[in-house]
């Protein structure tokens, strides 16, 4: 990537270490927005029990079909839009990408993107500031 400028874009999926997760492990991170600071959504294999037991949290789960995301999903999964989290900065993500292009997995398909925008616009879980940043980026 020498001589190349790296840009992270909303909807891009990266395989990164999640030290903030209940069980620290590698997860699929989706860029939620990049300004003023890089923030992510997480992809999960399935909603956790606490999400399944809460209708509002479940309403923030976007189905990602393996067929539409075959470049990185082996089975249907969910994009959790109930919260966003910090993680690697753009510079840190660029360094990981430079070390191994395998950290970049692909992009969220158009259908789930549209669903995400509707969920975010109507969300009572995300702050107004977060909602504005996400909707402006997507």
Does residue 7 form part of some domain? Answer: no
Does residue 2 form part of some domain? Answer: no
Q: What is the pLDDT of residues 7-32, one digit of tens each?
A: 889 999 999 988 877 787 899 999 99
**Alpha carbon distance 62, 53 (integer Å):** 16
Does residue 128 form part of some domain? Answer: yes
Task: Answer whether residue 1 shows pLDDT above 50.
Answer: no
> What does the block give as tokens for 135?
């909707």
Instruction: Residue 100: give the domain boundaries.
Output: 12-137
CA-closest candidate to residue 14, choices 36, 1, 32, 2: 32
Task: Answer whether residue 4 shows pLDDT above 60.
Answer: no
Q: What is the CATH number of the domain that holds 61?
A: 2.30.30.110
Give CA separation, 92 vs 21, 23, 66, 72, 118, in Å. 19, 22, 28, 22, 30
Does residue 3 form part of some domain? Answer: no
Give CA separation, 106 vs 5, 15, 63, 96, in Å. 18, 10, 16, 15
Task: Answer whether residue 132 shows pLDDT above 90.
Answer: yes
**Number of domains within the chain:** 1
Q: What is the pLDDT of residues 50-103, one digit of tens each?
A: 999 999 999 999 999 999 999 999 999 999 999 999 878 888 888 888 888 889
Does residue 27 form part of some domain? Answer: yes
Chain position carrying tokens 């001589």: 3
Predicted local distance difference test score (pLDDT) of residue 92: 87
Task: Answer whether residue 3 shows pLDDT above 60.
Answer: no
For all residues of the chain together, what is the average pLDDT? Answer: 92
Burial class (CB within 10 angstroms; exposed 0-12, middle 13-18, buried 19+) of 122: exposed
Does residue 5 form part of some domain? Answer: no
Instruction: Judge if pTM exceeds 0.95.
Output: no
Chain position carrying tokens 């510079």: 91
> What does the block give as tokens for 56?
């509002």
Predicted local distance difference test score (pLDDT) of residue 17: 85
Does residue 72 form part of some domain? Answer: yes
């Amino acid at each position: 990537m020498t001589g190349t400028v790296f840009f992270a874009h909303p909807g891009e999926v990266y395989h990164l270490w999640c030290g903030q997760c209940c069980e620290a492990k590698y997860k699929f991170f989706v860029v939620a927005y990049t300004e003023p600071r890089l923030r992510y959504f997480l992809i999960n294999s399935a909603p956790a029990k606490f999400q399944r037991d809460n209708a509002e949290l479940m309403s923030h789960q976007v189905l990602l079909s393996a067929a539409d995301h075959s470049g990185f999903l082996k089975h249907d999964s969910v994009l959790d839009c109930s919260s966003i989290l910090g993680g690697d900065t753009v510079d840190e993500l660029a360094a990981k990408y430079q070390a191994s292009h395998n950290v970049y997995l692909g992009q969220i398909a158009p259908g789930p993107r549209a669903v995400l925008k509707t969920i975010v616009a109507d969300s009572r879980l995300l702050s107004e500031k977060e909602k504005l940043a996400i909707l402006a980026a997507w």
